[in-house]
Structure 1
Amino acid sequence: MHTLHLHWFVPSPLAVAAEAWALTSSIELHAQRNPSSEAQFEALASGQVDAVVTAIDNVMDWNLRAGPQDLRVIAQLERTTPLTLVGRRDLAALEDLRGATLLVDAPRNGFVVALRAMLAERDITSDAYALEMVGGVKERFDALVAGRGDATLLGPPFDVMAFEAGLSRLASVQALYPEFPGQGLVVSARQLHRLRPALSSWLAELDRARQHMGADPDAARQALAREGFPAPAVEAMLSTTPVSLCPDRVGVELLITQRRKAGLPGADTTYEQLVETSVLPRG
């Protein structure tokens, strides 16, 4: 049996489905929730974990830091990551964010890049708002509900929970950027030889789960519901089932363009420099 240690923000729907359908018999998976992308990078750089499930954009920034500098996206586990910009109940539109404090995971990598790009497209420059680092999606939700900031990007199930708490929907990343890609599985290239048997087995199991989810969405719905996800979040997760585990070129290139619009370093990278597909199941 192979062993794989990883971090993620919330359990991947594909992984939940694979476990529910007993498709993971060849993998001993040690997965834990992490509080931020900074914690993910530190865990990867130190060798504490083998891989992380994270926003693909993170790799562009992480590879500029002191550390491995060889991180690669080896699979895309969601078609897209549903992201809604949620704000105080008295806010109504993106234009209301001039002078706002935006709660983020990190100031220059991850989902914040999409937020910074959408604001830049409305001539709201980076000096017109403040960014406060609070951590991953759960941490951002908690901080927003507690009144520590004015707006943040949230995904399922926290966006639904925010609306139930009376907060406002300001914008949808998917409505503005239909090709926005979902989270990827990221590893260090120099570790691929050691990890290849475990990663190949796990990705094959996730691919079988992907096919099952497409063929029997009701069973997948029940599996996700048993994990405690509310019904609206379950539907959002099912809608993100990827058509392939191969990172989408159009989506990755959108992230590069957004990084360029936001004026952030790392925008000179390419799909080929970010993505490694040799571990993906064939056929």
Structure 2
Amino acid sequence: MSSTLRLLWFVPPSLAVVADASGMTAGLALQAGRNASSDAQFEALVSDRADTVVTAMDNVMDWNLRPGPRDFCLVAQLERTTPLTVVGQRGRATLGDLRTTTILVDAPGNGFIVALRAMLADEGIGPDAYALEPVGGVHERHDAIVSGRGDATLLGPPFDAMALESGLSRIATVQEHYPAFPGQGLVVSAGALKRLRPALSAWLLSLEKARRSIAGAPEAARQALALAGFSASSADAMLRATPGSLLPSRAGIELLIEQRRRCGLPGAETTYEKLVETSALPGS
């Protein structure tokens, strides 16, 4: 049985920040680090350099098609939604302006880009009308687009606000098009779950306590995020994305499956039941 949990994420989720600041993780052996891309997350899981990752829930559908254990599952949802803004260079004002452009992505076939690909398809803009350039996670995409590389990208807090403050254009948000779009989830290999369950369950219990604390004392949570370096606007966006439950949203995951199908991407033949494993959640 494992007493240590090795975590990777792009940005610490608000639940984790509040849980740590409130002492709710006392006694847990957590080793958390930032990663540069979803591919880096996948490689870390496959090579046993990480036990679990906080990531876009769509990634599970793609990762289970790659060489590896092919048994990755979602054990929790850590955000109600991930606020995502399509940010463009000056002069790019609408989704229609993304024809013949280069869009900076983490990976072209999985993650948040699937939502943008679906948005473009809804506008009649097919995959041959634009190019996808992998540059890495949200931090890397922010730095690239602000430096003038590419024409547009998807960014979440706090990087979306930072990009707009630097003079880039707000084109659209994923939530405007898909209100049920779900936030990031916690992913593990089903084969490793028995070994990880003690530490994983303990951490999820601390996140559930943090979730309830945010609902009851939002100002204290806002202060914890401020002390962690998040701006006021970013902290507010993160708190608004606090999930109503750690149970992965059926409507949200079914939306992700439909978006993948809409874009003609593999992995869309899966179901909620095949993707979600709830045994580590508090009360399970």
Scaled by the length of structure 1, the TM-score of the pair is 0.99
Aligned pairs for 1:1-283 (under 5 A) are 2-282=3-283
RMSD over aligned CA atoms reads 0.9
Distance 1:215 1:154 in 2: 29
- Identical pairs, percent: 66
Structure 2 unaligned runs (5+)?
none
Q: Secondary structure at the match of 2:176?
A: helix
Distance 1:15 1:46 in 2: 25
Q: Secondary structure at the match of 2:167?
A: coil
Distance 2:185 2:18 in 1: 17
Report the AA paired with residue 268 of structure 2: A
CA deviations on 1:209-258 (whole Å, 9 max, x unpaired) are 00000000000000000011011000000001111000000000000000
Q: Secondary structure at the match of 1:110?
A: coil
Q: How far is the alpha carbon of 1:147 from its aligned partner?
A: 1.0
Scaled by the length of structure 2, the TM-score of the pair is 0.99
Contact 1:70-1:188 within 8 A present in 2 as well: yes
Contact 1:87-1:170 within 8 A present in 2 as well: yes
Distance 1:146 1:163 in 2: 13
**Number of paired residues?**
283
Q: Secondary structure at the match of 2:160?
A: helix
CA deviations on 1:162-209 (whole Å, 9 max, x unpaired) are 010000000110111000000000000000100000001000000000
Q: Secondary structure at the match of 1:211?
A: helix
Contact 1:87-1:168 within 8 A present in 2 as well: yes
Contact 1:26-1:201 within 8 A present in 2 as well: no
CA deviations on 1:90-143 (whole Å, 9 max, x unpaired) are 111000000000000000000000010000111100000000000000000011
Q: Secondary structure at the match of 1:72?
A: strand
Distance 1:149 1:54 in 2: 24
Structure 1 unaligned runs (5+)?
none
Distance 1:97 1:75 in 2: 34
Distance 1:68 1:148 in 2: 36
Report the AA paired with residue 154 of structure 1: L
Report the AA paired with residue 152 of structure 1: T
